[in-house]
Amino acid sequence: MASTTSDKATPERRTELLQNLAETKICFTEASKSLSHAPTLVAVSKTKPAWMTRACYEEGQRDFGENSDIDLVNKAKKVNLDSLRWHFIGVMKKTEGDDLRRQTRMRELTAVSNLHAIQSLTSIEDADIYNSAIPADRKTPLNMLLQVNTSGEVQKSGLQYVDTETEAADSPLFKLACHIIEHCPKLHFQGLMTIGSQMESLASSERPNQDFETLKKTRDVLEGMLRSNTALNGRWGDNGKLLLSMGMTADFEAGLRAGSHIVRVGTGIFGARRMK
């Protein structure tokens, strides 16, 4: 993995980047072997310069993730490639008295024509803002994954996971899912995302990762409830299945073996990030 601290566009740095990408893809393919679906590798380019996104794109990489809406909007302008798919994986913090500015940012984000998914939605309020912000000329509904806090860590964003249908019936997670399906025609409820705890990603690979198991359980419960409401058929997920976005540099192979549909790899491809 990269140890370089500079992200200047030198031939050496470019070679290192493409090597990292190639190695990540080999591991990704190997870990996906036993899956019956074709998972997606999202290259998390956050804090990295646009030339790196272009270089990976030229190697065939299509999905890229950013956790800052401002960086995503700026990079999308700079890179300007139609068949690239952007994933927003960050949180837009709410600060008092800044609602209008925040709504403007959400509008700018949804105006990115190749924004493919927002993986980090956690509130009905934001779903409504996104739904009304989406430009009229957008061709397909915007994919939404709901972020779930599977580790219970207070510093992690995300909605509480659910274990049973009784528990789920009253949960913010289920309510948000139903709200999108029933009231947000420009959004598509596609699946669930988790970050998980670092402890779990570093734990022995001989036992299942608890965050991934928790997300799968939550998915099973939600899928069961949505499926029993036949009026909602075809209005959520992909082919009647909710997608799981779980696995990052430290644990994407474990995520894939656990059945993930989307993994998000930053450091493993782009190298270490400098602290802000």
Ligand X SMILES: *Cc1c(COP(=O)(O)O)cnc(C)c1O
Which residues lie below 8 Å from residue 180, measured CB to CB, with a gap of 6+?
127, 144, 187, 188, 189, 236
CA–CA gap between residue 18 and residue 54 (Å, rounded): 11
Decide if residue 248 touches ligand X (CB under 6 A).
Answer: yes
Number of residues in the chain: 276
Decide if residue 46 touches ligand X (CB under 6 A).
Answer: yes
Among 13, 48, 179, 264, which residue interacts with ligand X (rule: CB under 6 A)? 264
Q: How far is the CB of 176 from ligand X (least distance, A)?
A: 18
Among 89, 115, 178, 254, which residue interacts with ligand X (rule: CB under 6 A)? 89
Decide if residue 68 touches ligand X (CB under 6 A).
Answer: no
Decide if residue 158 touches ligand X (CB under 6 A).
Answer: no
Residue span binding ligand X (CB under 6 A) among the ranges 12-20, 21-29, 166-174, 246-254: 246-254
Provide the terminal-to-terminal Cα distance of the chain, rounded to the nearest Å: 21
Q: How far is the CB of 104 from ligand X (least distance, A)?
A: 23
C-alpha angle 35/36/41, rounded to 5°?
A: 55
Which residues lie below 8 Å from residue 170, measured CB to CB, with a gap of 6+?
none
Q: Which of 274, 275, 270 is nearest to 42 (CA)?
A: 270
Among 117, 195, 215, 226, which residue interacts with ligand X (rule: CB under 6 A)? 195
Residue span binding ligand X (CB under 6 A) among the ranges 14-22, 122-130, 180-188, 262-270: 262-270
List, as one string, the DSSP characters of 194-263. ----HHHHHS-TTS--HHHHHHHHHHHHHHHHHHT-GGGTTSBTBTTB-EEE---TTTHHHHHHTT-SEE
Decide if residue 249 touches ligand X (CB under 6 A).
Answer: yes
Decide if residue 48 touches ligand X (CB under 6 A).
Answer: no
Q: Return left, alpha or beta for 234; rule: phi > 0 is left, psi -120 to 50 is alpha, else beta.
A: left
Q: How far is the CB of 233 from ligand X (least distance, A)?
A: 30
Q: How far is the CB of 156 from ligand X (least distance, A)?
A: 10
Binding to ligand X by CB under 6 A, coded x per residue (else -) over 118-157, reads: ----------------------------------------
Among 21, 43, 44, 73, which residue interacts with ligand X (rule: CB under 6 A)? 44
SS (H, E, C) 61-108: CCEEEECCHHHHHHHHHHHCCCCCEEEECCCCCCCCCCHHHHHHHHHH
Residue span binding ligand X (CB under 6 A) among the ranges 110-118, 184-192, 214-222, 261-269: 261-269
Decide if residue 67 touches ligand X (CB under 6 A).
Answer: yes
Residue numbers at the binding site for ligand X (CB under 6 A): 44, 46, 67, 89, 195, 248-250, 264-268
